[in-house]
Amino acid sequence: MTYIKLLGAGYLFDAPQSASWLACLLLLLLAALFSGHKRREGIRLLLGAGSDPKEAVTRRGEGRRLILLCLAWVAATVALMEPKGNGRRLTEEEREVAGQELIAESGEKVMGRTRRPAHDILFLLDASASMGAKDTRGGMSRLCVAKEIIDEVSSGLDGQSAALYAFTSELTPLVPPTLDYLYLRLFARRAELNEGDVAGTDLTEALDGLIRRHRGGGSEKRKSLILLTDGGDTHLEQASAGARAEELDVLVSRLEGAVELGFKVITIGLGSHEGELIPGVQFDGKPVRSQLDEELLRRLAEKGKGRYLFADDSSTLACAQEILKEIRRNELFEEVECESAKGEVEREVKERSQMAYDRYFQIPVALSLLLLSLALLLPEGRRARG
């Protein structure tokens, strides 16, 4: 698809390669000149070398006809380039209808096989009140940084199924497993603090609930759990110094069964080591400070045979790239049967169901017909009209 600005407006062409037909204009001109030369030679043979002005009249009429034919050729070539403009973005409903119509137009469908990653990406986003603290390197809240990382990772996926969950003291599904990464990114941006209108933080419940939901599929399919949190957990915070170690062991042990099922855990630490006051949260009339619990996140990543990343060590883009490297490491692939229409319908659906355009090929077609008609009806000259 090519973009050209003409007469103050922008136009797109679906078939810009058709412009190569303009090269044939040279052949048309040579043929016309050769034909005119032969015709004038015939006139000279018939009339001799006298002073009859008919030759000049004929030459003038031929020149006009040749110009009209060349313009008609140019207009027909523009029509073949399939011009369009006045683009507008389709709504979600219009996109679906456009895609279905395009597949229906394609005719017979064939069964084929495609190779794609046998991999589920599970984003587990901490949406507790402590994620509202603004102690990240860029001065944004922990939740905003987490959502940016999810957005960057999602935009870099290629064939992996992705799902999004938020957790506080309960697990809240936001996006089921999907290959529509744009859909996932939109919902990730809408995530809010205390998602599901439930306060507190229960990481054990979140991990158990997510693993139960994705227990199927067996070990032949990989599952990467990306946990984005500051490591806060109500049970750990309320435990005494002696009981904390025991509570931590119990929490980490929850991943034993997950690893056997093919899970790999990547933990992303959000917040600062010094900590920050949680906005709008008090305990016994005093503000509550939350700080990053790296010990918990490192142990979870180690147990889950994954990796721990501290978000403030780099930009969100760099962090996302490191996550994608972990996802693609030792990637498994599977061959699946898919129904696809002939002529690369899937690619066309993706391209043509995003935007709607007005088609303008009728205009150059009509202009070409008009110019051809004028060329046929044009008299040889004034003498011919007399």
Regarding whether 145 and 19 lie in a shared domain, the answer is no
Regarding whether 214 and 130 lie in a shared domain, the answer is yes
DSSP state letter for 239: S
Give residue 109's domain range.
Answer: 91-114+338-353
Averaged pLDDT for residues 247-275:
87
Regarding whether 178 and 47 lie in a shared domain, the answer is no
Q: Does residue 143 or residue 343 have the better pLDDT? A: 143
Q: Does residue 52 or residue 14 have the better pLDDT? A: 14
What pLDDT, on the 0 to 100 scale, is given for residue 352?
Answer: 54
What pLDDT, on the 0 to 100 scale, is given for residue 287?
Answer: 86
For the cut 50, the answer to whether the pLDDT of residue 87 exceeds it is: yes
Regarding whether 161 and 292 lie in a shared domain, the answer is yes
Query: How many C-beta neighbours within 10 Å does residue 148 have?
Result: 20
For the cut 90, the answer to whether the pLDDT of residue 150 exceeds it is: yes
Decide the pairing of beta strands 263-269 and 222-229. Answer: parallel
Domain total of the chain: 3
DSSP state letter for 129: G
Mean pLDDT of the chain: 79
Band of the pLDDT at 149, cuts 50, 70, 90?
Answer: very high
Regarding whether 9 and 155 lie in a shared domain, the answer is no
- 322 exposure class (CB count in 10 Å sphere: 0-12, 13-18, 19+): middle
Regarding whether 268 and 142 lie in a shared domain, the answer is yes
CATH of the domain at 167: 3.40.50.410
What pLDDT, on the 0 to 100 scale, is given for residue 141?
Answer: 93
d(CA 133, CA 130): 6
| pTM for the structure as a whole | 0.58
CA angle, corner 283, sides to 277 and 286, nearest 5?
60
Regarding whether 50 and 141 lie in a shared domain, the answer is no
What pLDDT, on the 0 to 100 scale, is given for residue 153?
Answer: 96
d(CA 86, CA 11): 8
Candidate from 3-17, 47-61, 170-184, 314-328 with smallest mean pLDDT: 47-61
Regarding whether 150 and 64 lie in a shared domain, the answer is no
Band of the pLDDT at 258, cuts 50, 70, 90?
Answer: confident
Q: Specify the DSSP element, H or E, that contains 186.
A: helix 181-190
The separation between CA 243 and the C-alpha centre of its own chain, rounded to angstroms, equals: 48
What pLDDT, on the 0 to 100 scale, is given for residue 279?
Answer: 86
For the cut 70, the answer to whether the pLDDT of residue 329 exceeds it is: yes
For the cut 70, the answer to whether the pLDDT of residue 291 exceeds it is: yes
Regarding whether 288 and 144 lie in a shared domain, the answer is yes
Regarding whether 225 and 197 lie in a shared domain, the answer is yes
Percent of the chain with pLDDT over 90: 28
What pLDDT, on the 0 to 100 scale, is given for residue 48?
Answer: 60
**Which residues make Cβ contacts (< 8 Å) with residue 1, sequence separation at least 6?**
12, 13, 14, 16, 351
Regarding whether 246 and 194 lie in a shared domain, the answer is yes
Band of the pLDDT at 371, cuts 50, 70, 90?
Answer: confident
What pLDDT, on the 0 to 100 scale, is given for residue 57?
Answer: 46
For the cut 60, the answer to whether the pLDDT of residue 381 exceeds it is: no
Regarding whether 135 and 28 lie in a shared domain, the answer is no
